[in-house]
């Protein structure tokens, strides 16, 4: 058999295994205290997650099968199973996907990046800070950290190549490897900072609501800003120490950026429009909690203006099939996860886990839960799948142990982002960097592991104190 056929054969075996796994769950005696419906939904949901984790199926077909089985078996009513598609926050994510395309197309993203490099790019460490700062500036309207990683990668890749650090001639360690690793680490922080910087964030906030915990745009960013600010300075420095670049000074980078900016010329009309839409949108999003504005409608209006001004065209739309794919699997898994909670599965599982930690103070339970949540990410390919599968249960256990709701929810949702570099496959945002060859997958386990540890420590100490103080 050829390698390709072997791969395919292996995958079919995996698929068969997942099918058997799902069937045996479905037909096993229903645990005491659960409705049949809740147990069936769990069997379908966890089979889809296992299919994704094991690599038997991509997340889109796995979700599609899960949906078909859920509805046709009568486990959920059609309108329940499809409800996720009209969730405002999911539509917000999809619209922001499209707006992000406008940021790229208008040239504004590039200009911001070059401006920062021109200012701070004299040393390799300064470059790393610049790239991460640019990331943090554009991230509130870039809820696909995968898409953002594409933008940042192009930038870092150009910087590395311009500085004669290439993969082909064995000079990746001169500068490129360090910058790539820093940018990946930066993505974990930018995604943590804003409610709209990662697709799973608003989904988590919505799920928290079902547990009586309110998290709006302001709560999110206020809770994250202090630990992220510290980590912004700390993490690139740590990487600089444990994974040092061979070239430490880059006097040419600001000059390259300056030349590129001169080539770009004056700020184009489209950049002004894009910038104005962007700033107004983020401003209205931040204010949405207090003004009662609907974030999704704000995003739709922003997209409308970008279409009116031809910054985002019908032609551009044609290539956004991935946004549809995301909408489909995200809406499906979100609905299933929500109904697992509504049908009492989360509280049932939470009670069982809680018996293990009963007697401990809420502080200890809190720390244990966060650490466990981060470590479990070793098994997950998708940050969003991780959140959808486990956030509800962990939140439930924390609430039962008396952990303040906002603290527990925020920390778990932050952790969904700051744990992304724990493995090479821990976030789809990592993939493009590793694909370039600058960073080797094996190096992620070590350097990314340490970055995750630093993130975790700062969030558990400073972050926890800060949230308790501010909320």
Residues that bind a copy of itself (CB under 8 A): 15, 57-58, 60-61, 64-65, 67-72, 78-79, 81-88, 91, 94, 293-294, 296-298, 300-301, 303-304, 307-308, 314, 316-325, 327, 331
CB atoms within 10 A of CB 339: 22
Shortest CB 464 distance to a copy of itself, Å: 33
Rounded Cα distance between 351 and 336, Å, is 20
- Report, in Å, the least distance between residue 11 CB and a copy of itself: 10
Strand, coil or helix: 123: strand
Q: Closest distance between a copy of itself and the C-beta of residue 5, in Å?
A: 13
Radius of gyration of the chain (CA): 23
* Short-list 258, 331, 317, CA closest to 82: 331
* 95 three-class SS: helix
Q: Are 205 and 195 in contact (CB under 8 A)?
A: yes
Closer CB to a copy of itself, 16 or 229, in the complex = 16
Nearer to a copy of itself, 64 or 225 (CB): 64
Listed residue (445, 471, 459) closest to 417, CA to CA = 459
Q: Which is nearer to a copy of itself, 57 or 197 (CB)?
A: 57
CB of 381 to a copy of itself, least distance (A): 14
From residue 251, how far is each of 164, 256, 457 by CA, in Å? 13, 9, 34
Structure-token pair, residue 366: 């809190």
Residue entry with tokens 């930066």: 186
- Give the C-alpha separation, 425 to 276, whole Å: 36
Q: Beta-carbon neighbour count of residue 126 at 10 Å?
A: 19
CA dist., res. 160 & res. 183, Å (int): 12
Between CA 231 and CA 257 the distance in angstroms is 26
Q: Rounded to the nearest whole angstrom, what is the least distance from the CB of residue 192 to a copy of itself in the complex?
A: 26
For tokens 């970055």, what's the residue?
Answer: 451
The residue (of 5 and 318) whose beta carbon lies closer to a copy of itself is 318
Task: Tell which residue, 322, 325, 327, 285, has the closest CA to residue 302.
Answer: 285
Least distance in Å: CB of 443 to a copy of itself? 28
Alpha helices in 139-268 (DSSP H): 145-162, 176-193, 200-210, 217-242, 252-264
Nearer to a copy of itself, 123 or 270 (CB): 270
Rounded-to-integer distance, Cα 373 and Cα 394, Å: 8
Distance in Å, CB of 282 to a copy of itself, minimum? 16
Q: Name the residue nearer to a copy of itself (CB basis): 55 or 363.
A: 55
Decide whether 241 or 318 has the Cβ nearer to a copy of itself.
318
Distance of closest approach, residue 322 Cβ to a copy of itself, in angstroms:
5
Q: What is the DSSP secondary structure assignment for residue 293, as one 8-state letter?
A: -
For a copy of itself, which is the closer residue by CB, 37 or 171?
37
Q: Which is nearer to a copy of itself, 91 or 369 (CB)?
A: 91
* Smallest separation, CB 29 to a copy of itself (Å): 27
Calculate the dihedral angle through the C-alpha atoms of 146, 150, 155, 156, rounding to the nearest 10 degrees.
60
- Between the two ends of the chain, the Cα-to-Cα distance in Å is 61
What's the token pair of residue 76?
A: 């959920």
Residue whose CB is less far from a copy of itself, 33 or 304: 304
Phi, psi torsion values for 349, nearest 5 degrees: -65, -40
Q: Residue 47 Cβ, how far from a copy of itself at the closest point, in Å?
A: 13
CB of 330 to a copy of itself, least distance (A): 12
Closer Cβ to a copy of itself, 55 or 68, answer by number: 68
């Amino acid at each position: 058999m050829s390698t390709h056929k072997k791969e395919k054969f292996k995958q079919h075996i995996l698929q068969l295994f997942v099918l058997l796994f799902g069937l045996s769950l479905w037909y096993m005696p229903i645990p005491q205290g659960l409705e049949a419906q809740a147990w069936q939904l769990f069997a379908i949901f966890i089979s889809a997650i296992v299919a994704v984790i094991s690599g038997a199926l991509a997340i889109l077909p796995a979700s599609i099968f899960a949906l078909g089985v859920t509805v046709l078996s009568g486990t959920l009513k059609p309108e329940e199973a499809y409800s996720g598609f009209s969730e405002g926050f999911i539509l917000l994510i999809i619209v922001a996907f499209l707006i992000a395309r406008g940021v790229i197309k208008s040239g504004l993203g590039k200009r911001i990046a070059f401006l920062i490099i021109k200012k701070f790019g004299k040393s390799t460490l300064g470059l790393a800070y610049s790239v991460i700062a640019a990331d943090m500036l554009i991230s509130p309207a870039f809820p696909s950290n995968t898409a953002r990683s594409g933008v940042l990668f192009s930038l870092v890749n150009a910087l590395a190549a311009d500085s004669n650090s290439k993969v082909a001639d064995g000079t990746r360690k001169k500068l490129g490897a360090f910058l790539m690793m820093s940018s990946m680490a930066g993505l974990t922080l930018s995604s943590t900072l804003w409610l709209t910087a990662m697709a799973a964030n608003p989904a988590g906030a919505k799920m928290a609501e079902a547990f009586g915990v309110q998290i709006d745009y302001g709560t999110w960013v206020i809770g994250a800003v202090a630990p992220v600010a510290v980590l912004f300075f700390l993490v690139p420095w740590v990487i600089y120490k444990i994974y040092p670049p061979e070239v430490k000074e880059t006097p040419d980078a600001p000059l390259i950026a300056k030349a590129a900016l001169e080539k770009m010329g004056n700020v184009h009309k489209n950049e002004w429009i894009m910038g104005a839409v962007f700033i107004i949108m983020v401003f209205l999003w931040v204010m949405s909690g207090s003004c009662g504005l609907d974030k999704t409608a704000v995003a739709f209006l922003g997209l409308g203006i970008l279409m009116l001004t031809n910054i985002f065209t019908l032609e551009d739309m044609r290539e956004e099939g991935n946004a549809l794919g995301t909408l489909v699997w995200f809406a499906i898994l979100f609905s299933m996860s929500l109904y697992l909670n509504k049908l009492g599965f989360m509280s049932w599982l939470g009670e069982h886990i809680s018996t293990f930690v009963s007697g401990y103070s809420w502080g200890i339970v809190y720390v244990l839960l966060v650490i466990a949540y981060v470590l479990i990410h070793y098994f997950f390919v998708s940050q969003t799948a991780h959140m959808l599968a486990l956030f509800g249960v962990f939140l439930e256990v924390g609430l039962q142990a008396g952990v303040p709701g906002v603290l527990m929810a925020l920390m778990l949702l932050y952790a969904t982002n700051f744990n992304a570099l724990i493995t090479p496959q821990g976030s789809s945002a990592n993939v493009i960097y590793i694909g370039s060859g600058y960073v080797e997958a094996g190096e992620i386990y070590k350097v990314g592991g340490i970055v995750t540890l630093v993130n975790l420590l700062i969030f558990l100490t400073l972050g926890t104190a800060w949230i308790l103080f501010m909320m």
